[in-house]
Amino acid sequence: MMNKKILLASITLLLSCSLFAQAPKYSNEFLAIGIGAKALGMSNSNVAIVDDVTAGYWNPAGLELVKSNIQFGLMHSEYFAGIAKYDYGAIAARIDEKSTAGFSFIRFGVDDIPNTTQLIDAEGNLDYSKITTFSAADYAFLFSYARTVKDGLRVGANAKVVYRQVGDFAKAYGFGLDVGAQYQVKNWIFGAMARDITSTFNAWSFNLSDQMKEVFTLTGNDIPASSLEITLPRLILSAGRKLKLSGSFTATPDLDVDFTFDGKRNVLVKSNPVSIDPHMGVEFSYKNFLFLRGGIGNIQNETDISGKLKTTFEPNMGVGLKIKDALSIDYALTNIGGVSIALWSNIFSLKFNINKKVKGAS
């Protein structure tokens, strides 16, 4: 009986991500974390003002603002003391004067998880040589296209492929579409991003051994079966403004408001089926060379231990450096916990440009 309990605990650990994923709420949430130290330092307030390769994630319409022929973006971050790793890479390439294409890759995973399902044999003997490791990881591939419709108006779209895997035990394939737009009026910029506009469908399949199925049956648990997970649409409306300060200083504040349609969430405005989550940030620039950023997000109404209702939020901050319009280095210190329990993460990202030489130029 003891070996059955240990085996059940192992299976529960291995499949927890997959079993939880059957609920429509918070599906594919790894795609809601955000990418790029610039945006993360501003609490993910970026949909209206994004103007670089990261627009493939935030708002594909912003790819039209990439000035170089080709721009690359890279990011690496770690969460929970390095247990979870989040990696991102992207490329944007100009097609002509009015259109740009892009490709983005995202991976969020936990690696080297011990697999102890074979640790105890049928006679109850321990064999530590049977312990192996596996990864639980989520992948996304975004194919982006942006086009300038008229002066000040840009539109874009993503075709999104999702692959999720828990070792050899479970995997899922998904597909979805995003659409976005940006509209600029003088120094004001407005943005809209509709993620998973048609809903994103993940088809899960499981590969369980007979031993695992036996344990599920003996303990009264349902055996996981092939299923369909649905990610409902999310709408983000955004507004930003470019401000000229004294001397060589400028400021770009941005306000984003997320609308989710999958039921009541723990955000500032929660209702069923629509919840509203505002977040805001600002970027200060010195000669378009040195940048200082900050923002607040995850604004919630919480009840403390005394039963008193209070409003909490998570602060974020960052800095950036641009070198001769060729290389940008950005850093962000982000809080994914809260006021009482802070879980700080260090985020680094790079952007670099390649410009094609004109024939005949010296």
List of domains in the chain: 2-354 (2.40.160.60)
Contact 231, 260 (CB under 8 A): no
User: What is the pLDDT, as a whole number, of residue 264?
Assistant: 85
Whole-angstrom distance, CA of residue 162 vs CA of residue 195: 13
Number of helices and strands in the chain (H, E)? 4, 17
User: What is the pLDDT, as a whole number, of residue 142?
Assistant: 97
User: What is the pLDDT, as a whole number, of residue 358?
Assistant: 42
User: What is the pLDDT, as a whole number, of residue 122?
Assistant: 65
Spans of the chain, pLDDT less than 50:
1-23, 338-339, 358-362
User: Which phi and psi (to 5°) does residue 10 adopt?
Assistant: -65, -45
User: What is the pLDDT, as a whole number, of residue 5?
Assistant: 36
Q: Is 150 left (phi over 0), alpha (psi -120 to 50) or beta?
A: beta
User: What is the pLDDT, as a whole number, of residue 6?
Assistant: 38
Least Cα distance to 32 among 166, 148, 140, 143 occurs for 140
User: What is the pLDDT, as a whole number, of residue 262?
Assistant: 84
Contact 66, 58 (CB under 8 A): no
**For the chain, percent helix, then strand, then coil, each to nearest 5?**
15, 55, 30
Judged by DSSP in three states, 27 sits in: coil
User: What is the pLDDT, as a whole number, of residue 215?
Assistant: 60
CA distances from 312 to 33, 257, 334 (A): 19, 17, 15
User: What is the pLDDT, as a whole number, of residue 17?
Assistant: 40
